[in-house]
């Protein structure tokens, strides 16, 4: 694609957004009915603020979903320590719940505006960010253009580029260059990610490692954990976490294959809890007894599956087991984050499709902390082996702890790279007089 065609493509994208804008409100209403939007905060997606802008420097941080939100939290805490206000936008209801639980009033949370001219302009004009920091991989052309037009630095942190995304952008190199050259700085997870961003026109690009290695372990309620441990007693357990469609069926197959030998409890934590009704129906059709966390169902000796259908309790589920299969890797592509189970001392299993977390899995596998299984049969054999072989299980768990310690340090490297942008804001923030009265909340229009 030539430079001229790239400009035409971007113009067509913006024009299409303007033309479809009248349908935005019905579209958001429909998504609200599907529980994919918060109906009470629907207007935030159209760029209308529901909270006041504080005085002083403000950085707009964007994290699309749960994984990106968790990754950027250590950086947000560092910015707040420097007295810089942080406006954090996310794109999903689940991630908004995580922000409320883990950051509370430390940040201003809003839902990200749709990547359409009117919402984006309205959003930027109200919040007037001094810089924009986005996590990982999302590219929104209209937002990039509007920030660039106002001279607001755009920084990508914890940046990664999947095989599929790189192939798509490379096939449209001029379009990619027209967007990526507007980024003031890219801080990549790995050397491969950095090379890909440079190839697509980003500059400068540095490597920091994965911010997720510097996150705190996921929290848990000690009373709830003790409650479930008491109900589980001495039963063996294993977990299938962050599962996608088809992987719950795989976990059920594994459970049935091993039940007579081990009498184990299987914990299933779907990536999207709204699928829980369909998952429970499938499990019951398989002849399995299901206890749902959202209903506080008791786990008895006859319970086959504990269905973790709640948001923000991964710390609970992972502390109930020492073996974790990480989903979106067996029946779907890309993989999910293996660092949380490794951090909490779980032996990690994964399917072969883990492109989005290749570097993390390579580090874990090199130390013997993670194993890749090709299919359901191999998964069943791996789970059985780890359930009955405590020395092998402990060896994988210890290797996970060791790997996590070696991988830490991404936060310090990221902050150092950001210093030219955040140091002046820190000085301004510390010189800012403290407001005597809290500002009134902005009206949502």
pLDDT digits 0-9 by tens, 318-343: 999 999 999 999 988 889 999 999 99
Q: Which residues face 350 on adjacent strands?
A: 326, 372
Residues 243 and 173 in one domain: no
Peptide bond connecting 7 to the previous residue in cis, omega within 30 degrees of 0: no
Element (H, E) at 404: helix 390-407
Predicted confidence (pLDDT) at residue 411 exceeds the cutoff of 50: yes
CATH number of 346's domain: 3.40.50.2000
The pLDDT value recorded for residue 439 is: 47
Residues 39 and 120 in one domain: yes
Domain with 183, as residue range(s), is 3-209+409-431
Q: Does residue 445 form part of some domain?
A: no
List, in sequence order, every beta strand (DSSP E) within 208-312: 237-243, 265-270, 290-292, 305-307
How far is Cα 154 from Cα 180, in angstroms, rounded to an integer? Answer: 10
Crossing angle for the helix pair 66-81 and 93-102, to the nearest 10 degrees = 30
- Mean pLDDT confidence for 193-217: 95
The answer to whether 253 and 287 are in contact (CB under 8 A) is: no
- Mean pLDDT confidence for 289-295: 98
Q: Does residue 436 form part of some domain?
A: no
Helix, strand or coil for residue 46? helix
- Mean pLDDT confidence for 265-292: 97
How far is Cα 232 from Cα 264, in angstroms, rounded to an integer? Answer: 10
Residues 421 and 388 in one domain: no
Rounding to the nearest 10 degrees, give the CA dihedral for residues 169, 173, 175, 179.
80
How far is Cα 218 from Cα 403, in angstroms, rounded to an integer? Answer: 18
Q: Does residue 444 form part of some domain?
A: no
- Banded model confidence at residue 2, pLDDT cuts 50, 70, 90: low
Count how many domains the chain has: 2
Predicted confidence (pLDDT) at residue 350 exceeds the cutoff of 90: yes
Token pair recorded at residue 318? 């992972």
pTM: 0.87
Predicted confidence (pLDDT) at residue 106 exceeds the cutoff of 60: yes
Can you say whether the dihedral through the CA atoms of 359, 356, 276, 88 is positive or negative?
A: positive
The pLDDT value recorded for residue 441 is: 43
- Mean pLDDT confidence for 279-286: 98
| 68 flagged as catalytic | yes
The answer to whether 162 and 137 are in contact (CB under 8 A) is: yes
In this predicted model, what pLDDT tens digit does every residue of 76-89 receive, in sequence order?
999 999 999 999 99
Q: How far is CA 265 from the centre of its chain?
A: 27
Crossing angle for the helix pair 376-388 and 390-407, to the nearest 10 degrees = 100
The average confidence (pLDDT) of the chain is 93
Cα 220 to Cα 158, 185, 213, 308, 311: the distances in Å are 26, 36, 19, 13, 12
One of 37, 44, 68, 78 is an active-site residue; which one? Answer: 68
The pLDDT value recorded for residue 333 is: 84
The pLDDT value recorded for residue 186 is: 98
Q: Which residues face 155 on adjacent strands?
A: 133, 185
């Amino acid at each position: 694609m030539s430079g001229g065609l790239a400009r035409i493509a971007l113009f067509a994208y913006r024009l299409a957004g303007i033309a479809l804008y009248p349908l935005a409100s019905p579209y958001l209403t429909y998504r609200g009915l599907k529980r994919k939007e918060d109906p009470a905060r629907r207007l935030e997606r159209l760029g209308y603020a529901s909270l006041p802008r504080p005085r002083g420097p403000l950085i707009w941080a964007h994290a699309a979903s749960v994984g990106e939100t968790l990754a950027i939290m250590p950086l947000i805490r560092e910015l707040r320590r420097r007295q810089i206000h942080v406006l954090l936008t996310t794109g999903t209801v689940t991630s908004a719940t995580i922000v409320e639980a883990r950051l509370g009033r430390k940040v201003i949370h809003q839902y990200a505006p749709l990547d359409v001219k009117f919402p984006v302009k309205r959003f930027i004009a109200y919040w007037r960010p001094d810089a924009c920091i986005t996590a990982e991989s999302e590219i929104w052309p209209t937002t990039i253009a509007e920030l660039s037009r106002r001279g607001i630095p755009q920084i990508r942190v914890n940046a990664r580029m999947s095989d599929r995304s790189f192939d798509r952008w490379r096939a449209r190199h001029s379009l990619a260059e027209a967007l990526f050259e507007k980024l003031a700085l890219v801080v990549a997870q790995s050397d491969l990610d950095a090379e890909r961003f440079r190839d697509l026109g980003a500059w400068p690009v540095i490597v920091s490692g994965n911010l997720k290695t510097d996150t705190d372990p996921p929290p848990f309620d000690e009373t709830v954990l003790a409650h479930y441990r008491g109900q589980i007693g001495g039963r063996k357990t294993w977990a299938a976490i962050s599962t996608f469609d088809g992987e719950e069926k795989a976990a059920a197959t594994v459970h049935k294959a091993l039940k007579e030998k081990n009498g184990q409890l299987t914990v299933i934590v779907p990536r999207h809890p709204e699928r829980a009704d369909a998952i429970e129906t499938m499990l019951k059709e398989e002849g399995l007894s299901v206890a749902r966390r959202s209903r506080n169902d008791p786990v008895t000796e006859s319970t086959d599956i504990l269905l973790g259908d709640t948001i923000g309790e991964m710390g609970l589920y992972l502390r109930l087991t020492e073996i974790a299969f990480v989903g979106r890797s067996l029946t779907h592509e890309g993989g999910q984050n293996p660092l949380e189970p490794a951090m909490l001392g779980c032996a990690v299993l994964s399917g072969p499709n883990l492109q989005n977390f290749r570097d993390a899995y390579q580090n874990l596998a090199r130390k013997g902390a993670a194993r890749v299984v090709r299919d359901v049969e191999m998964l069943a054999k791996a789970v059985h082996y780890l359930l009955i072989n405590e020395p092998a299980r402990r060896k994988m768990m210890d290797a996970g702890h060791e790997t996590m310690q070696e991988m830490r340090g991404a936060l310090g490297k990221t902050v150092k790279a950001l210093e030219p942008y955040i140091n002046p804001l820190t000085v301004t923030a510390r010189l800012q007089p403290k407001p005597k009265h809290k500002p009134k909340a902005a009206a949502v229009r």
